[in-house]
Structure 1
Amino acid sequence: MLKLENVSKTYKTGDKALQGISFEVPAGQVVGLIGPSGAGKSSLIRCINRLVEPTAGSILLGDTDLTRLNGRNLRQARRRIGMIFQEYALVERLTVMENVLSGRLGYVSTWRSFLRRYSPEDVSQAFALLEKVGLADHYNKRADALSGGQRQRVGIARALEQNPELLLVDEPTASLDPKTSRQIMRLIRGACQERSLPAIINIHDVMLAQQFSDRIIGLRNGEVVFDGAPDELTNDVLTRIYGDEDWTQLRGEESDGESTDGSNDAPSVDLAEGV
């Protein structure tokens, strides 16, 4: 479980990115984090894994208060947090397999990491994950030869290679077409269900957030202004989060006959489709 208690972040410029954020994410729950640009979504994700230092509050992963850790203890704690990035963050000159195995770098010695020597168990798990995300046949291909959707699949496999206790996802579909975006969200949701992983997904696409999240948290000006089920995200709530706008078209698009709870996109669907 992840628990945030009164987390705040004020930058040196005086800008208040986060103000008294408190919520819990139980095992297996996928949280869609939405809000306008500058609402604090990325700051929140980065405060959780301490890429950004929170100004106040506590962040607990299980019984560990991440805000109190430094040095080696912080590095060890970060092994428990898988991160999926908007821009993939792959080493492009390395192969798909090498990128996935880099998820184990926090668990191997310095000389093993330098020589990229991993245990047979690590390699076996990496192959299984590549099979899962539909890239088993691409294991020896360089990362710079992949499409955007394929790169994001590698990023998902790398994060899962860590065997994390928490998944943080920052705009995973921002550069992808609608079909690939749905496939990527389906993969993430399926992995969380299979592993009982709590996850927070920073996402701009409200429809995708509703379709693939168990819960929606809306931020505005660094504060939580909505925390509820996807079907509670009414026009009034969207206005509270984003400001005045005619949301009729968005609501109409969601009623095109497809389920908004992800039931039409169950993990049993062929995940390799349309790689």
Structure 2
Amino acid sequence: MIKMKDLTLGYKKEKILKNINLNVKKGEFVGIIGSSGAGKSTLLMSVTGGIKVFDGKFEVLNNDMKGIKKKDLVKLRKQIGIIFQGYYLVDRLSVLDNIVSGMLKDIPLSRALIKHYREKELKKAKELMEIVSIQKHSFKRCDELSGGQRQRVAIARALAANPKIILADEPIAALDQKSAKKVMNILKKVNQELGVTIIGNFHHIDVAQEYCDRILGINKGKIIFDGKGEELTEEILDQIYEDDKSYLSDSDDDN
């Protein structure tokens, strides 16, 4: 689904990621770890085509990302769902309305503005609410929900567009341990039962080890580890984080 070969990426004239070689297959759950500023978010968001390609080969869902046409990029982005740490929901709207907004590519704007949803759209929204266990709050405004509940709404909204890939940018960083576990269990369910490929950035190494099939360790714009969670040794973690020892306390942090 995603292929990178000898890839260098960045912004304007600045090269952030260098000589990246990566092949993500359909149905994988990939976690990215590394210090702040290592290039985790750049690698993640490059899948949407928003990062400049300097050198190498880069394909996403059979699209050549080097020089991709605008119309093809629009089509590609419709197949990618994104979940952010900050949720990015419309607080004054209900859970239902926020989820249906994820179907806007299939719903005319005129109908969306007056909230005139068809039966099939409501049915799909209800199914998604059940997947993320938020159906009891379908008519609540999103600003009345807890952080964990809001993130579950964000997952349902991302799924509303039938994505082939979901990018999760620090999806549990702002959540307590109990809420984080619920969100991660839902992401794993989406990955395993719906077959959606998921790639996420995680501060907590133990979370990545528990839920991800594969972990990428990044340091200074380079992938220096690509393997299973159980293969992460203290020596490898020292190579990924170097002098940044914050990951040691993160594993025991309830936040």
2:5 aligns to what? 5
Select between 46-55 and 236-245 the one with higher mean Cα deviation: 46-55
Letter in structure 1 aligned against 2:10: T
Distance 1:248 1:148 in 2: 23
1:184 aligns to what? 183
**Aligned ranges for residues 64-213 of structure 1 at < 5 Å?**
64-213=63-212
Shift of 1:56: 3.7
Distance 1:158 1:87 in 2: 14
Distance 1:248 1:132 in 2: 31
Q: Give per-residue Cα distances to partners, 1:193-233, cap 9 Å, x unaligned.
A: 11222111111110101011000001111110000011000
Q: Percent identity among equivalent residues?
A: 38
Taking a change above 3 Å as real, the CA distance of residues 204 and 248 of structure 1, as seen in their structure-2 partners, is closer
Taking a change above 3 Å as real, the CA distance of residues 117 and 222 of structure 1, as seen in their structure-2 partners, is farther
2:21 aligns to what? 22
Assess if the C-alpha contact under 8 Å between 2:30 and 2:212 holds in 1: yes
Shift of 1:181: 1.0
Distance 2:172 2:39 in 1: 18
Letter in structure 2 aligned against 1:194: E
Q: Which has the higher strand share?
A: 2
1:273 aligns to what? none
Distance 1:185 1:148 in 2: 14
Distance 1:31 1:201 in 2: 6
Distance 2:153 2:11 in 1: 33
Instruction: Provide the secondary structure at the position in 2 that maps to 1:93.
Output: coil
Taking a change above 3 Å as real, the CA distance of residues 117 and 60 of structure 1, as seen in their structure-2 partners, is farther
Q: Give per-residue Cα distances to partners, 1:71-118, cap 9 Å, x unaligned.
A: 333222111001111100111111111111111112333434444444
Distance 1:81 1:20 in 2: 24
Taking only aligned residues, the RMSD between alpha carbons, in angstroms, comes to 2.3
Instruction: Provide the secondary structure at the position in 2 that maps to 1:217.
Output: strand
TM-score (norm 2): 0.90
- Extract unaligned runs of 5+ from structure 1: 254-275
Instruction: Provide the secondary structure at the position in 2 that maps to 1:107.
Output: coil
Taking a change above 3 Å as real, the CA distance of residues 67 and 199 of structure 1, as seen in their structure-2 partners, is farther
- Extract unaligned runs of 5+ from structure 2: none
